Chain A
Amino acid sequence: MLDIQKIRADFPILSQKVNGHPLVYFDNGATSQKPQVVLDAISEYYSQTNANIHRGVHSLSQKATDAYELSRKKIQQHINAQHSHEVIFTSGTTHGINAIANGFASLLQKGDEVLVSALEHHSNIVPWQMLCERTGAVLKVIPINQNGELIQTEYDKLLSANTKIVAVNHISNALGTINPIAEMIRKAHTVGAAVLIDGAQAVPHLKPDVQALDCDFYVFSGHKMCGPTGIGILYGKEAWLNQLPPYQGGGEMIATVSFEKTTYADLPHKFEAGTPNIEGGIVLGTAVDYLNSIGFEHIAAYEHELLDYATEKLSEIEGLNIVGTAKEKTSVISFNIQGIHPYDIGTIIDKKGIAVRTGHHCAQPIMDFFCIPGTIRASFAFYNTKEEIDILVEAVKKAKAMLL
């Protein structure tokens, strides 16, 4: 059992008032809040460790480098990567996807196919579209059913010897659907396609095991898992990362440079051009430690309880329609109220101190599929409570009364 009040005390931002009401933060899908240990680690880095890494011979630079590399090892263990050099620090999920999509430009040719799904965030659609434009490859889309689940029989039909890479999310940001990625990865490998998993929405809720999944790439952001913004991880299998050309050129990613020929550094540095987000990299390790100290089994069980409670309570509101009713779901509820625009609900409940996301959640194709302008999305974290869900339900009822 989690001691939620004790956990809440770890997050200073949660005790503030918004528009005169205690903050109810249900926009965790957009970004998570940060515990005090993370805030302290940021300040400690700049007050005690700050130096550029991998360069200086001086002690402070060594200290910063050690902390940065220790964090890489922590993340390697956390996602069960075989080698720490398979863990690349990026600026976030979008950066990771773009690095791989760019790398594949040298491998694809006309007639090759790239598979994405209808559940993707724009950041796992647009880089692949750009790749297809550059190479003449064709983008194909795995469709969804009315519950917001990927139709696996359609996926089977789309896979062929032409499929070079499959890019799907582990968990949908707009609907919360958990995709059966282990099975999807296995199937993709039978036709020789590589698989990139967008884990941005998964890492706050579960501990991915990249070796068990056997994915070729797994990307995620630090800020959604209690870490700072501007840091993320690109995991790639060693063989793939060695094969792909680097995404950016610059300092730190080279072995030797002359005007005739530059040779690239070994992994992971080949993909880490320039001075990285050192503080972010170090503190992401702190965030991972914090989440592990609570325990992902406890987090998942409690969040599921919140999801069930919210689903039950919200469903009691007449005219409320939950969008995304997959069997396997994480703690995200997207909904609409008949005859009311999501923007109006979001505006009214904000006045009650409730933070939700309204709109298309950067996943316009999903909204087009359901023929809606957007949804109201409440996404819960382990520091949320049932009492807060009650406040949301009352506020939605109030908004409905005002708006209809």
Chain B
Amino acid sequence: MTIKEIQHEIVDEFSMFEDWEERFQYVIDLGKTLPLIDAQYKTDENTIKGCQSKVWLHAEEVDEKIVFTADSDAIITKGIIAILIRVFSNRTPQEILAADTAFIDEIGLKEQLSPTRANGLVSMIKQIKMYALAYDSKK
């Protein structure tokens, strides 16, 4: 599946929810089930400091694709990380660089990606793109 197709799939999943409570409950549950980042990668270097919640992001290259693992100290942030990882992890740098995050608006979580939220997600997406750029230019 392409990044676009996965994004459509996520939008479809969210369209089944009737209200914000169901949407947020789903995000919270995703947060709870996000595979834990390997403790050795929870370093200061991998920390993205939001003013409110913290995000840890680790990237490695596997078969010319970038695999991301991440974590947060806040569960809603972690749930959104799970969605972003589903979209961006295990992709080539070119795919990552070409993708956008407009689908987040469609699933009703737009405000979570607003810079004023200071939850580290905006910086996380920037960091994902930076990794893609770095791996891309290495070639």
- Chain A residues engaging chain B, CB cutoff 8 angstroms: 19, 340-344, 346-348, 351, 358-360, 373-374, 402-403
Contacts and interface: CB of A to CB of B under 8 A. Distances in A.
Contacts of A344: 28, 74-76
A259 B8 CA distance: 69
B51 interface: yes
B15 to A, nearest CB: 19
B89 interface: no
B73 interface: yes
Contacts of A19: 20
Which of B25, B75, B77, B119 has most A Cβ within 10 Å?
B75
B52 A402 contact: no
A381 B9 CA distance: 46
Interface of B: 20-21, 24-25, 28, 51-54, 73-77, 112, 118-119
A341 B75 contact: yes
- Which of A19, A340, A403 has most chain B Cβ within 10 Å? A403
B77 A403 contact: no
A340 to B, nearest CB: 8
A340 B76 CA distance: 10
Count chain A CB atoms within 10 A of each CB in B53, B118, B119 and give the residue with the most. B53
Nearest to A342: B52
B21 A341 contact: no
Contact of A341 (B51, B53, B112): B53
Contacts of A403: 28, 75
Nearest to A364: B51
A342 B52 CA distance: 8
Contacts of A358: 52
A328 B2 CA distance: 60
A359 B54 contact: no
B24 A343 contact: no
Contact of B77 (A343, A360, A402): A343
B73 A373 contact: yes
B20 A343 contact: no
**Chain B CB within 10 A, most for which of A341, A342, A360, A402:** A341
Contacts of B28: 344, 402-403
Contacts of A348: 24, 76
Nearest to B25: A402
B55 to A, nearest CB: 11
B68 to A, nearest CB: 21
B52 A343 contact: yes
A314 to B, nearest CB: 21
A374 B24 contact: no
Contacts of A347: 24, 76, 112
B74 A402 contact: no
Nearest to A348: B24
B74 A343 contact: yes
A347 B109 CA distance: 11
Contacts of A402: 21, 24-25, 28
Contacts of A342: 52
B29 to A, nearest CB: 10
B101 to A, nearest CB: 18
Contacts of A360: 51
A359 B75 contact: no
A346 B117 CA distance: 11
A143 B112 CA distance: 36
Contact of B118 (A341, A351, A359, A373): A359
A374 B25 CA distance: 23
Contacts of A340: 75
18 contacts: A19-B20, A340-B75, A341-B75, A343-B52, A343-B119, A344-B28, A344-B76, A346-B52, A347-B112, A348-B24, A351-B21, A359-B52, A360-B51, A373-B73, A374-B52, A402-B21, A402-B25, A402-B28
A348 B77 CA distance: 12
Contacts of A373: 53-54, 73
A-B pairs with lowest CB-CB distance, top 3: A341-B74, A343-B74, A343-B52
A241 to B, nearest CB: 35
